[in-house]
Amino acid sequence: GDNEPYDGALRNDTMFRHCTRRGLAHTLIEIRQDLIGSVEGATQWAELLAPMLERVNALDAVHEIRHMGSRTGPVDPV
């Protein structure tokens, strides 16, 4: 299907169910399919993103449970 930009504000989507409700830090990174459609393109993006993700993952705060709520409405934590 068409890959439309996604702002992360869909109630009961995967991020909401598995992260927001559990208070887990999360992010969504979208990359155009034509940019990762070859081994070379996928490798280039992996090499670009890996160091950034490693730095973020090293932050203690990323691993804390924090219920931040949602723009979609009230959140029942699990």
- Rounded to an integer, what distance in angstroms lies between the CA atom of residue 1 and that of residue 48? 27
The confidence score (pLDDT) of residue 2 equals 66
pTM for this one? 0.75
State the average pLDDT for the chain: 91
The confidence score (pLDDT) of residue 74 equals 87
| Confidence band, pLDDT 50/70/90 cuts, at residue 10 | confident
pLDDT tens digits for range 47-76 = 999 999 999 999 999 999 999 988 888 898
Mean pLDDT value of segment 12-37: 92
Asked if 27 contacts 65 with a C-beta cutoff of 8 angstroms, the reply is no
